[in-house]
């Protein structure tokens, strides 16, 4: 079931996601060899709060989990797929780092992830980043009236597989709204090689 949102709800979602985009722009400037994932996380929390938002992940406890998530961002390095916990680990030249940011603003969630190179990366890592970004735009092209979520996810999956990548089926995305993880919207993709 897809929940149709009102124009007011869409506007609040847009504002929440603008904070997410702002955090990405600022944190991207900090991604370099030697910085710790904790330093990135602390800066993200500061940026979110300065814009009037609340870090959506900090203290989040998904159903079935024993403890709350301890950070404002999920930060995953190289082969880590998702939900990495920031800490003392330092980024190294050649790493790729995925940043997942969630924001709660006026009762609505924004959430997105981006993968960035740390300095110079291998051709294979750069190719993964490029194919993933291009797959996003393939999916956006399918996000139009009359299409289903499955049209979007199918286009993204076919594009990724055409370049030798695949989706991680255990983490296929979620919708957002008044809940951080809206099950009725689960229909997007993460990539692995």
Looking at every residue in the chain, the average pLDDT score rounds to 87
Window from 49-53, 143-147, 174-178 with minimum mean pLDDT: 174-178
Q: Which residue has the higher pLDDT, 149 or 100?
A: 100
pLDDT of 81 strictly over 90: no
Cα 160 from Cα 139, distance rounded (Å): 11
Q: What does pTM read for this prediction?
A: 0.85
Residue 144 and residue 66: Cα distance in Å, rounded? 39
- Domains, the chain, ordered by start: 7-192 (3.90.230.10)
Single out the residue of 152, 132, 131, 157 nearest to residue 142, CA to CA. 152
The answer to whether residue 193 scores a pLDDT higher than 70 is: no
Q: What is the DSSP string of 45-103?
A: HHHHHHTT-EESSTT---TT-SS---SSEEEEETT--S-PPPSSPBP-TT-EEEEEEEE
pLDDT for position 83: 81
In this predicted structure, what is the pLDDT of residue 172?
60
């Amino acid at each position: 079931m897809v929940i149709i949102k009102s124009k007011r709800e869409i506007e609040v979602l847009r504002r929440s996601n603008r904070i997410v985009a702002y955090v990405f722009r600022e944190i991207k400037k900090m991604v370099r060899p030697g910085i710790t994932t904790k330093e990135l996380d602390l800066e993200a929390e500061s940026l979110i709060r300065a814009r009037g938002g609340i870090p959506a992940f900090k203290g989040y406890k998904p159903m079935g989990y024993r403890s709350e998530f301890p950070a404002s961002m999920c930060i995953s390095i190289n082969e880590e797929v998702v939900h990495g916990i920031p800490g003392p680990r330092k980024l190294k030249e050649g790493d790729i780092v995925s940043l997942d940011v969630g924001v709660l603003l006026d009762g609505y969630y924004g959430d997105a992830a981006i993968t960035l190179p740390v300095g110079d990366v291998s051709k294979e890592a750069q190719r993964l980043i490029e194919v993933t970004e291009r797959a996003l735009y393939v999916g956006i092209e399918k996000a139009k009236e009359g299409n289903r979520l499955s049209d979007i996810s199918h286009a993204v999956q076919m594009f990724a597989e055409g370049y030798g990548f695949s989706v991680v089926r255990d983490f296929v995305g979620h919708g957002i709204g008044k809940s951080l993880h809206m099950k009725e919207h689960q229909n997007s993709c993460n990539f692995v090689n």
